[in-house]
Amino acid sequence: NAGVMQNPRHLVRRRGQEARLRCSPMKGHSHVYWYRQLPEEGLKFMVYLQKENIIDESGMPKERFSAEFPKEGPSILRIQQVVRGDSAAYFCASSPLAGVDTQYFGPGTRLTVL
Amino acid sequence: GENVEQHPSTLSVQEGDSAVIKCTYSDSASNYFPWYKQELGKRPQLIIDIRSNVGEKKDQRIAVTLNKTAKHFSLHITETQPEDSAVYFCAARKSSGDKLTFGTGTRLAVRP
């Protein structure tokens, strides 16, 4: 049973470009969470999605950031017009349908904005 | 919203000694408290968790205690080994499916 997968593992973008980060949850998991970790800091919640629904986006900046989890395919976190302050590690986590608390984390995507 | 504070931010112990990391949370509705270990450049890995209906849980050298009245929980690592060196994060959550709120992390160094 493959774990949570994220790609790319490393992404370099210039200011003003778009970044697309992908997350494939563990098989059988329908809850996906995105967290951001700035250098030398803890993880901050961004958004929580279930298939085709955004459940909680209270941690996501209102502008330039969006997320989706389509019926088919991975969850995608999209950052438009990236700025240097977006440089961070972005982790996604997944959990099963219901009744289980544990969130399993992917390896992360390290975004560097030049 | 929930706020989780974690102390200390750094901790250095001699190999074989015990290490204790403490966290407090603000929302009395929180009922799930996991601990994650993160090695440099790696993903956070769950090492132990506890639910609010339990006061203590142990797994080999690792134990977690929870005091719901005081709203704090602690991670205890006994007989520390160099491979325990990492950053440890506590977290809290209100209900199944809800987001995790993380503490700021403790960098543990185990001196051989």
Query: Per the CB < 8 Å rule, is A103 touching B105?
Result: no
Helix (H, G, I), strand (E, B) or coil at B20: strand
Cα B7 to Cα B22: distance, rounded to the nearest angstrom: 5
Q: Give pLDDT, residue A104.
A: 92
In this model, does residue A2 exceed pLDDT 80?
no
Distance from B48 to chain A by nearest Cα, in Å?
Answer: 10
- Whether B58 and chain A come into contact, CB under 8 Å, resolves to no
Query: Per the CB < 8 Å rule, is A107 touching B99?
Result: no
User: How crowded is residue B84: how many other Cβ atoms within 10 Å of its Cβ?
Assistant: 19
**What's the start-to-end Cα distance of chain B, in Å?**
41
In this model, does residue A99 exceed pLDDT 60?
no
In this model, does residue A29 exceed pLDDT 60?
yes
Contacts with B102 from chain A: Cβ below 8 Å:
35, 42-44
Count residue pairs from A and B with Cβ separation < 8 A.
57
Average pLDDT over chain A reads 92
pLDDT tens digit sequence for B21-46: 999 999 998 999 999 999 998 999 99
Substitution target from A45, A57, A58, A69 for chain B, most B beta carbons within 10 A: A45
pLDDT tens digit sequence for B53-110: 889 999 999 999 999 999 999 999 999 999 999 999 999 998 766 889 999 999 999 9
In this model, does residue A1 exceed pLDDT 60?
no
